[in-house]
Amino acid sequence: MLMFCVLMVLILHMNVHCVYLNWTSHDRPNIVVLVSDAFDGRLTFSPGNKVVQLPYINYMREMGAVFLNSYTNSPICCPSRAAMWSGQFVHLTQAWNNYKCLDPSATTWMAHLGKSGYHTHSMGKLDYTSGHHSVSNRVEAWTRDVPFLLRQEGRPVTDLVGDTSTKRVMTKDWNITDVAVQWIRHTAVSLTQPFALYVGLNLPHPYCTDSLGPTAGGSTFRTSPYWLNKVSYDQVSVPKWLRVEDMHPVDYYSTFTKNCSGHFTEEEIRNIRAFYYAMCAETDSMLGEVIDSLRDTGLLNRTVVLFTSDHGDLAMEHRQFYKMSMFEGSSHVPLLIMGPGVKTGFEISLPVSLVDIYPTVLDLAGVPQPGGLSGHSLIPLVSGVSAQSAEPHPGWVLSEYHGCNANASTYMLRIGEWKYITYADGLTVPPQLFNLSKDESELRNVASHFPDVCQDLDRLLRTVVDYPSVSQAVHRYNKQQFLEWKQNLGDSYSQVIANLRWHIDWQKDAQSYERDIEEWLLGESTSGGDGT
């Protein structure tokens, strides 16, 4: 133990050396990580970005590197952020839903930077520790195996506010942006050590639908004419949908619980998508404020800027909004990096994911990598410099989902042209397989046509995660947590559960739904959800 402590002291006092970019502790770059919420990664490269003006994302593309196949490790807020901050897959951190994520004592990449001599500062939305989000959100996740079908969200709607001069729609995010800009202009410029700044935004996540009451979820796409004018309305597509009877059972469950199984006109769908893109434009402007402040202070050429998001938004693709799905709109996230040592105008098609941010940031800072990380440094990819000591990126990504609005644990492996999605124990729910090079819209599940591909990809997936065992662990956790919650409520249980986000449907037959839950609590299951 003594020798270990001595070695650590020596490491902290010696010149830290970055393997890839040849920086010493005296010229290590500043690092700015800006994370949005629910930003579709396909908008960061052509042709997706033609639908909306995103000047600062385009600037980052020109001045740095863009990853064309970057994915969330779990398409929901808290588990995704837990993966990003810990560098570990969700099944390792057991961040099963928006309520259960990282322990506050977990060692993040920001903590490593602080210990290595960086001045660190975080502001805005973090959302990677346990205990947050609404009661509805957690109860819906715990009861997803119960065989009832209840609408858990408000029907997606649009809300136009202000006029052509109204720029600040999401005032909370603008306030965070203002604080970040002031910190850069007044604090960062005077630092004698490199700094690491994290800025977390909530846009373009939909707003709460206030008319649905205090338990309402976020189903309102809100913007102003100022931002809507940034959208090329004639480029806004109306996505094709499968017939309801042809949908995968888990996708149908998601569609129904998200309140999207009813009729939508083409105008409604186009407007929802246009408003979403306008919200992305507002997000881009906030990114621009941060970049401009770095440029104005002379810090930009010494700063690596990274932009990403926790997940995307389906924006009515596959008859859904929100995330909680492995379809591209939900799982594909932006990832752009620019700064010293990063190639300019560089596109990387290799699949990567948010767990790669942890080792990447440490690599930028010349900080030794801890053991047990799921991710791989992206510095060899964006710098063009390789090193024999570096473990190459495997070329596949894993995403998994165990939360609400999906009635089976879901696992996605993305490699080459294929996206393989399997559920629960791999037996009780049919898998999905999409060839993204031929089916960008993911409307043709070809699993039955390519059984050998499914078998090979499933075998690879099982080398990464024993997913049937994980599904069963989640199933046990859900029952235990729900039972504890129910017991703690005592006599108020029936009233509380009847007034969660599903209250409109629940109160039509409350006794029946309570019986369904009691039967579920008494029953045994080995599948961890059956997708029915």
- Report residue 531's pLDDT band, with 50, 70 and 90 as the boundaries: low
Q: Is 500's pLDDT higher than 80?
A: yes
Mean pLDDT within 68-89: 97
Distance CA 39, CA 329 (A): 9
Q: Does residue 246 lie in a domain region? A: yes
* Segment 358-381, tens digit of pLDDT: 999 999 999 999 999 999 999 999
Which tokens in the block code for residue 492?
A: 């108020």
pTM: 0.94
Q: Does residue 177 lie in a domain region? A: yes
Which tokens in the block code for residue 4?
A: 């270990």
Rounded (5°) CA angle 276-280-286: 145
Q: Is 353's pLDDT higher than 80?
A: yes
Q: What is the pLDDT of residue 25?
A: 64
Q: Does residue 302 lie in a domain region? A: yes
* Segment 299-337, tens digit of pLDDT: 999 999 999 999 999 999 999 999 999 999 999 999 999
Mean pLDDT within 87-92: 98
Q: Does residue 52 lie in a domain region? A: yes
Q: Is 20's pLDDT higher than 60?
A: no
| Number of separate domains in the chain | 1
Three-class secondary structure of residue 397 per DSSP: strand
Q: Is 355's pLDDT higher than 50?
A: yes
Q: What is the pLDDT of residue 242?
A: 98
Q: Does residue 405 lie in a domain region? A: no
Distance CA 48, CA 46 (A): 5
Q: What is the pLDDT of residue 115?
A: 97
Q: Is 127 left (phi over 0), alpha (psi -120 to 50) or beta?
A: left
Radius of gyration of the chain (CA): 23
Structural element, H or E, at residue 157: strand 157-160
- Please report, for the domain that includes residue 175, its CATH number: 3.40.720.10
- Report residue 46's pLDDT band, with 50, 70 and 90 as the boundaries: confident
Q: Does residue 194 lie in a domain region? A: yes
Q: Is 3's pLDDT higher than 70?
A: no
Q: What is the pLDDT of residue 105?
A: 86
* Segment 416-444, tens digit of pLDDT: 999 999 999 999 999 999 999 999 999 99
Mean pLDDT within 239-262: 97
- Report residue 14's pLDDT band, with 50, 70 and 90 as the boundaries: very low
- Average model confidence (pLDDT) for the chain? 92
Who wins on pLDDT, 352 or 134?
A: 352
Q: Is 66's pLDDT higher than 90?
A: yes
C-beta of residue 443 within 8 angstroms of C-beta of residue 180: no
* Segment 177-222, tens digit of pLDDT: 999 999 999 999 999 999 999 999 999 999 998 877 766 778 999 9
- Report residue 134's pLDDT band, with 50, 70 and 90 as the boundaries: confident
Domain limits at 227?
15-382
**Mind telling me the catalytic residues?**
77
Mean pLDDT within 268-295: 99
Mean pLDDT within 68-75: 98
Q: Does residue 8 lie in a domain region? A: no
Distance CA 493, CA 500 (A): 11
Distance CA 279, CA 271 (A): 12
Q: Is 470's pLDDT higher than 70?
A: yes
Share of residues in the chain with pLDDT > 90 (%): 85
**Judging by beta carbons within 10 Å of its beta carbon (0-12, 13-18, 19+), is residue 464 exposed, middle or buried?**
middle
Q: Does residue 244 lie in a domain region? A: yes
Q: Is 475's pLDDT higher than 50?
A: yes
* Segment 152-170, tens digit of pLDDT: 989 999 999 999 999 999 9
CB burial string 98-118: b at 16+ within 10 A, e below: bbbbbeeeeebbbebbeebbb
Mean pLDDT within 111-115: 98
C-beta of residue 359 within 8 angstroms of C-beta of residue 381: no
Residues in the chain: 532
Which tokens in the block code for residue 284?
A: 């881009």
Among 9-18, 48-57, 163-172, 315-324, which stretch is predicted with the lowest mean pLDDT? 9-18
